Chain A
Amino acid sequence: MQDFSQAFALALALIGSRDPDLWAAVLLSLQVSLTASLIAFVIGAPIGGYLAVRRFAGRSGVLVLANAFLGLPPVVVGLAVYVLLSQTGPLGWLRILFTPAAMIIAQTLLTLPIVVALAHRATAGFWERYGDSLTIDGASHLRSVSILLSMARAGLVTAYLAAFGRAIAEVGAIMMVGGNIRGYTRTMTTAIALETSKGNLALALALGLILISLALAVSAAAFLFDRRR
């Protein structure tokens, strides 16, 4: 237990110290994971809604895939993005390997299935209940999707938070495509991995506590945002 109390004291001291490395890592973690989960949300939520509204060939295939990919291994996503963005890869000309942009791409791919699967789940029930009336009213598919999404707001907040939670907590993908470069692509999770490998367990745990507080703050903000409406 001494480790934990030491970590707790260290976490408080770190927060008080305004260590520039720490804040760079905190901001980068937020920047990358918020951006990636937002992109995944903006793309994935309409797809989830569309899957609830439309019946088409291959629809169940997409759903099975989205659900299976809920457990996509970050290190595999990282490896695939690495190979794509490598100088000798098909997207090498973008020259964004080992940059925050590459990390955003990896986390977007990682979180997209979560948003699609959960947004479908959130909207499908509403479609069963109101689908017929919407169709009778002559609403187009796009219009139906947009109505369903506003009905399923609460479920969508959960979908977004699940995506963000996945992104902010993962280390395998961003380590591989970001390179954990100090002051540039070092996030909270890659810093924790590094400090652990230096044997600085208390410091690593302290960083972990700060990371968890961040996730809590984002989650609380999302719920307040939802409540206020």
Chain B
Amino acid sequence: MFASVCRRVFLAGCAVAIVSTGAVRAEDRFITLASTTSTEQSGLFDYILPIFEKESGITVRVVAVGTGQALAIGARGDADALLVHDRVGEDKFVADGNGIDRRDVMFNDFVLVGPKADPAHVRGLKDAKEALKRIASAHAAFASRGDDSGTNRLELRLWKAANVDLKTGGSGWYRELGSGMGPTLNTSAGLNAYTLTDRATWANFSNRGGLEILVEGDPALFNPYGSILVNPQKFPGVKAADARRWHEWLTSPAGRAAISSYKIKGEQLFFPLGDTPRS
């Protein structure tokens, strides 16, 4: 009797499996791209990937994580290419022999968002360092990604530049969340806290609560993205040729045009920037 139960349950399972394989498209050629939550959550990939896929016949499977984790995935050979934003980490990744041919792709910028009441009086500042200093001296709540992402790494460099020692002076108001950009914004909205976010995620984020952009336009908030191929000599399993095709496309006039034409509510969010000649 147990056998017959098993058999029926198994048949039901097979039926589900067969139905669902129909739903997952046959993808013969694909590459795995480790990238950041900001590019995924801003909607950029949803816009540019179909253009590339149509042109090349190669599907791009995006694993969107923080830059730190994306670099770690690449360093194990688990992705074919990376699109990340932490120049220091990227250069180290290449220097360690994990990646080759790092190229500038595009940039956007970070903005400091915070409560409309602005208890630290930073609204309109053009100097991010000065804004952080004021937040620290006002002991105003600040939510940090705390997840070793590109955004988090930049934020920590800014605190350092502002001479704020978070270890001794951050207690009570500096909150390390250990979350992606979106969850951090959700929490900031709940806590009415200041936080640093990339403009693209912010533009695409709905649950803003009482937060708004307070500081923007400081060159220190420049946020460049780089494309790196995972080193096929170190990791023979990577799809070197198809990954290169993506890498070349992304930095080609066609890729650059696709990036510039992505807009949310009429606002362009990513600006191509590259080593390849402009068309």
A: residues with CB less than 8 A from B are: 23-24, 27-28, 30-31, 34-35, 38, 41-42, 45, 86-89, 92, 95, 97-98, 100, 146, 149-150, 153, 156, 160, 179-185, 194, 196-201, 225
Contact = CB atoms under 8 A, between A and B. Distances in A.
B237 to A, nearest CB: 5
Chain B contact patch, size range: 35 or more
B88 interface: no
B20 A31 contact: yes
A92 B73 CA distance: 13
Contacts, number: 113
B231 to A, nearest CB: 12
Contacts of B76: 86-89
Interface in B188-233: 189, 204-208
Contacts of A27: 16, 19-20, 23-24
B105 interface: no
Interface stretch (B59-67, B127-135, B254-262): B59-67
Interface stretch (B118-126, B149-157, B161-169, B175-183): B175-183
Given A34-B13, A184-B61, A97 B20 contact: no
B77 interface: yes
A188 to B, nearest CB: 13
Given A23-B23, A153-B1, A199 B237 contact: no
Given A180-B63, A181-B61, A34 B206 contact: no
6 contacts: A35-B17, A86-B77, A100-B24, A153-B1, A180-B63, A181-B63
Contacts of B181: 197
Nearest to A28: B20
A156 B6 CA distance: 11
A88 B77 contact: yes
B152 to A, nearest CB: 15
B41 interface: yes
A41 B10 CA distance: 10
B27 interface: yes
B37 interface: yes
B206 A98 contact: no
